[in-house]
Amino acid sequence: MTDLIPLDPASAAAGLREAGEGARGFLGVDPVTENDALLTRRLAALDAQVFRAGDTLVGAAPNPHQPRQAYVASTSADEAALRALLGFLVTYRRATSYVALVERGAAATEALRRCGFAERGALRDHRHRSGAPVDVLVWFGKAAETCPS
Amino acid sequence: MPFVTVRHFADEDIPLRLQLLREARFQANLSDFAVAASDDDLVADVRRTIAERQDERRIFTLCGPKGEVMGFAWITSIDWRNQTCELSFGVLPRHRGGPGALGVQAAHDYVRAELNMRVIVNQVLEHNTMLQSARTMAESRQVRCDYDSYTVGEWRSACYWSLTDEDMREQRAQKLARRRVLADRIRARTGELP
């Protein structure tokens, strides 16, 4: 089981900046267009939690309209890191389902697939990066062991 | 690896930024407000820009191939919805000239490609020929504004011009065409077939 190390907001921002390409669009933030102070503020506004799992950063933010559902993000294709996050969300946040919004071709897609997520749709030209609009794909996952109530 | 990289202005860049604000040519060419401000006030102001004012103004650090700071670019008058902003530059004295011009290009590219700005407004005080000659400025300016700024004891006229996506495409095409002509000429001289 991969250990999750919770990051304080400043370390989360610094970590995302270091993560480079994989951190673009992480829970909707982007270290290329936002400085550390702004990243910190945006993550706080989402009520997001960011963890380090090995070389990967994973994060989650509650869906305010459905508190048992969490938005999740990862900076890499590392399946174990994402699994550790999902386990944390089930155990400590009573999450029953997850949504991930990832750019087409993002590294995290592979981890989502391996963790049983399914692609549910595409938001066309939803984000702008490197001079062009890109599609954002909506991936949905259901917690394996949902809590009884 | 590009020659110049653009990154967010951070706390560690503040001393260099202050040096630039206190430099004679910067004051004549851009603004001399720093003359009457204490170091503490300038530091506090720039910290506010980093921490709180990202929606209104942003500063970027232009770095050379080894990560050394070459200067700064900053955007103001940002209109996110209409995708326009004004872009300004301050290059540190030792990097002025050729490398500075590459920095200018890198900042233009960043603002367009990543911040999705469509129209960039340039303002240069007319006497300032640090990044472009008086001739190029006369060609590119769309508006000439007398008594635009008062810096270091003199009224300065300013030239303004905007750069749209179309202008950028045209500039790029012209640059490629010039390069092609040069390449053909070199080939002709070395006796190579085109």
Residues A81-128: tens digit of each pLDDT: 999 999 999 999 999 999 999 999 999 999 999 999 999 999 999 999
pLDDT for the residue B193: 59
A18 vs B contacts (CB less than 8 Å): none
* Chain A interface includes B172 (CB < 8 A): no
What distance, in Å, lies between the first and last C-alpha atoms of chain B? 29
Average pLDDT over residues A63-79: 96
Task: For residue B192, give the DSSP letter.
Answer: -
In A, minimum Cα distance to B53 occurs at: A38
B58 vs A contacts (CB less than 8 Å): 35
A58: pLDDT confidence band, cut at 50, 70 and 90? very high
Domain range B5-163, CATH architecture:
3-Layer(aba) Sandwich (3.40)
Nearest to B112 among A33, A36, A131 (CB): A131
Half-sphere exposure of residue B181: CA atoms within 13 angstroms, side-chain side: 6
Domain boundaries defined on chain B: 5-163, 165-194
For the segment(s) A5-142, the CATH number from 3.40.630.30, 3.30.1330.20, 3.40.1410.10, 3.40.50.2000 is 3.40.630.30
Average pLDDT over residues A43-52: 97
CA distance B163 to B109: 12
Do B114 and A32 count as a contact with CB atoms less than 8 A apart?
Answer: yes
Average pLDDT over residues B119-147: 89
Buried/exposed code over B114-144 (b: 16+ C-beta within 10 A; e: otherwise) = bbbbebbbbbbbbebebbbeeeebeebbeee
Tokens 């070389």 map to which residue? A55
Is 70 exceeded by the pLDDT of residue A77?
yes
For B35-92, write each residue's pLDDT tens digit.
Answer: 999 999 999 999 999 999 999 999 999 999 999 999 999 999 999 999 999 999 999 9
Is 80 exceeded by the pLDDT of residue B2?
no
Q: Are A129 and A32 in contact (CB under 8 A)?
A: yes
* Chain A interface includes B101 (CB < 8 A): no
* Chain B interface includes A33 (CB < 8 A): yes
In B, minimum Cα distance to A132 occurs at: B113
Is 80 exceeded by the pLDDT of residue B194?
no
